[in-house]
Amino acid sequence: MEENNKSEHRTYDFIIVGSGAGGGPLAANLVEEGFSVLILEAGTDHSCDYYNIPIMQGRASEDAEMRWDFFVRHYASDTVQAKDSKFMKSNDGVLYPRGATLGGSTATNAMVNVYPHNSDWDHLARLTGNEDWNAEAMRHRYIRIENWQGPDVDRQKPAAPHDGSRHGFEGWLKVSRANPELAGREPRFLDIINAMEEISREKYQTPADTALPNDPNDWRFVSSGGEGMSFVPVAVGDGTRNGARERILSALQKYPDRLTIRYGSLVKKVIFEGNRAYGVEYLSGKHLYSADPKASEALPEPKIFQAFASKEVIIAAGAFNTPQILKLSGIGPREELESHGINVVVDSPGVGENLQDRYEVGLVYQLKEEYSLFKEATLDVPEKGQPGDPLFREWSNTKGGPYSTNGSLAAFITKSSIAEEDPDLFILALPISFKGYYPGYSGESAELHDRLTFVILKAHTKNKSGFVQLRSADPRERPAINFRYFEEGNDTEGKDMQGVVEGIEIAREIADRLGTMIKTELIPGKDADSRAALSEFVHNEAWGHHASCTCKIGADHDPMAVLDGDFRVRGTEGLRVVDASVFAKIPGFFIVSAVYMISERASDVLIRKYRSPQ
């Protein structure tokens, strides 16, 4: 295989591995500053209706051209793990889909764009001793990113530049909420939304003249630790998904001489001279990674290429693949590397450790009647040459209607009894059946039009015990991933479990207001009528989809800190990490906005360094 080695014979200022929320905007920012950048993307650019149409987000996550299928464990015990109805023995895990296309997981996610908590940034400022991480500095970066599209909650006082909302209006990321008028097309949607509003007003004594739902990205709501019913901000503009992909392609169109994208490029390792990174070695070909659903079609012996960076190499491959690449490059726990015959460049025991996620569960209800709005809906694209269902035609003609949304109706943000500084529960109402991820989940959800799911998301989780470990030194093989849930993790007091159970109780309180429209609770079911029974349900069925923290930023004295406060890989020169791996603690409710924000900060750090007189 080594005889296929070939150099590109070109040196770039920067090489960025990965094109998701961390790497994509970073590449665009550097290119706009005049630097030459090479993006190495293992997937392709696969724009299609599943990508473009917001309601198709579940289908996008199962599109074979855009996804990698990881199968992760939640427990070491086979007996305990097998109790999860989503567990696949043949794959020894639960499906954990990741985007593998231009834009990374921003191309396949549900587009939810909820702002992190200020404490997330202030914690990093304290940890690093650098006030450039604080909440105020990071809000300025968010304003640079956001292009708020409205419509606003209070039409009498719409958000505007320089007002107290501190929204951004000139950024590259279009953020919006579903048009409130859409709910009026389905009486049951209105009933669900009204029930959530009633409970919100009662619980928080919200005056009748105060508009609801709340805007969770409004600076005033964020700064006050706001709670209550909220709309769900999404990365949708003009009825279409947008994200890192559009940011990259815009930069490519403006500066084709500065930005190079190599698709089908699976990084094998970072190349070092001593401890200085100066390039990468990568395999070239489609479907090379074993998580690719078309991996069987890949070349058995792809060509190996090298590319070189005069300034820095940035790894932005995500919380699973970034630690894998670092370990394959000789950066990681010495014992693990040596067990796979990998030469140790830096003995860094924290690489692949500290894996964190939310805990999520779905309460699924069957309604007495189907949603009238969806009676003819397939929630799918039509066969070639066919007109599609009425809602698809509406989206095609106007970029409006229900298909211009991600399907979420409303959210309820609140604190559990074990919350510390910030709200830790995000309860999302969806007009589908959703119990988590398993092969075929999106198709099954689309077939049932008499379902309502409340997804309970527990943020600020205590568990930091998950890991990503190499199975071999083969860059094509998926690593072993175990989140080590609940008692297998470090939350010895059971606070995470308590928080999730309290979230279920709140969701049931909302459902109780809908008695005339609900036929029965399917999951977990009415027999789960005690906290012990609910705890068992959560223990068996919880999932997550915001993997993070596997190459954490930390203080100089912390031996488990992989990175310093400016994203540099400790023990090396010319190598940084910019993706969800970098957090010491998982931030906020939904991670993508936080990753976009760290990408902006990394851009500032690099531009300042290489634009300043040397």
- Can you give 395-414 as a three-state secondary structure string? HHHHCCCHHHCCCCCEEEEE
pLDDT band at 3 (very low <50, low <70, confident <90, very high): very low
Q: Reply yes or no on whether the pLDDT at 2 is more than 50.
A: no
Strand partners, 410: 429
Q: Reply yes or no on whether the pLDDT at 614 is more than 70.
A: no
Instruction: Classify residue 75 as exposed, middle or buried by CB count within 10 Å of its CB (0-12, 13-18, 19+).
Output: buried
229 is an annotated ligand-binding site residue:
no
The answer to whether the CB of 562 falls within 8 A of the CB of 569 is yes
Render 59-106 in DSSP notation, one character per residue: HHHT-TTTEEEEEEBS-S-HHHHTTSTT-BGGGTBEEEEEE-BTTGGG
The pLDDT assigned to 605 comes to 99
Across the chain, mean pLDDT equals: 96
pLDDT band at 191 (very low <50, low <70, confident <90, very high): very high
| In the chain, domain spans | 2-81+96-110+243-351+548-578+588-611
428-487 tens-digit pLDDT: 999 999 999 999 999 998 899 999 999 999 999 999 999 999 999 999 999 999 999 999
Render 177-228 in DSSP notation, one character per residue: ---GGGGGG-HHHHHHHHHHHHHHHHHHT--TTS-SSB-TTSHHHHHTT--E
For strands 37-40 and 6-17, give the pairing. Answer: parallel
The answer to whether the CB of 220 falls within 8 A of the CB of 165 is yes
- CA angle, 544 as apex, 40 and 532 as ends, to 5°? 165
Helix (H), strand (E) at residue 311:
strand 303-315
Q: List Cβ neighbours of 371 (8 Å cut-off, separation of 6 or more).
A: 186, 188, 189, 431, 449, 450
The average pLDDT across 234-239 equals: 98
Strand partners, 469: 480
Which residue is listed with tokens 């919100």?
A: 200
pLDDT band at 179 (very low <50, low <70, confident <90, very high): confident
Amino acid identity, position 564: D
Closest CA to 592 of 111, 76, 93, 77: 111
Q: List Cβ neighbours of 112 (8 Å cut-off, separation of 6 or more).
A: 232, 233, 234, 406, 408, 590, 592
Give the number of other CB atoms < 10 A from CB of residue 493: 10
The average pLDDT across 91-98 equals: 98
- Quote the crossing angle between the two packed helices 135-145 and 118-128, to the nearest 10°: 120
Which residue is listed with tokens 């392709």?
A: 44
The pLDDT assigned to 6 comes to 55
CATH T-level topology, domain 2-81+96-110+243-351+548-578+588-611: FAD/NAD(P)-binding domain (3.50.50)
Q: Reply yes or no on whether the pLDDT at 511 is more than 90.
A: yes
pLDDT band at 595 (very low <50, low <70, confident <90, very high): very high
Instruction: For the chain, count helices (H), then strands (E).
Output: 16, 23
pLDDT band at 515 (very low <50, low <70, confident <90, very high): confident
For strands 467-469 and 480-482, give the pairing. Answer: antiparallel
560 is an annotated ligand-binding site residue:
no
pLDDT band at 160 (very low <50, low <70, confident <90, very high): confident
The answer to whether the CB of 600 falls within 8 A of the CB of 25 is yes
17 is an annotated ligand-binding site residue:
no
109 is an annotated ligand-binding site residue:
yes
pLDDT band at 497 (very low <50, low <70, confident <90, very high): very high
Taking the CA atoms of 87, 92, 93 and 96 in sequence, report the sign of the dihedral they define.
negative
The answer to whether the CB of 58 falls within 8 A of the CB of 280 is no
The pLDDT assigned to 180 comes to 87
pLDDT band at 562 (very low <50, low <70, confident <90, very high): very high
The answer to whether the CB of 370 falls within 8 A of the CB of 487 is no
112 is an annotated ligand-binding site residue:
yes
Closest CA to 44 of 95, 89, 101: 101
Q: What are the structure tokens assigned to 363, written together?
A: 């309460």
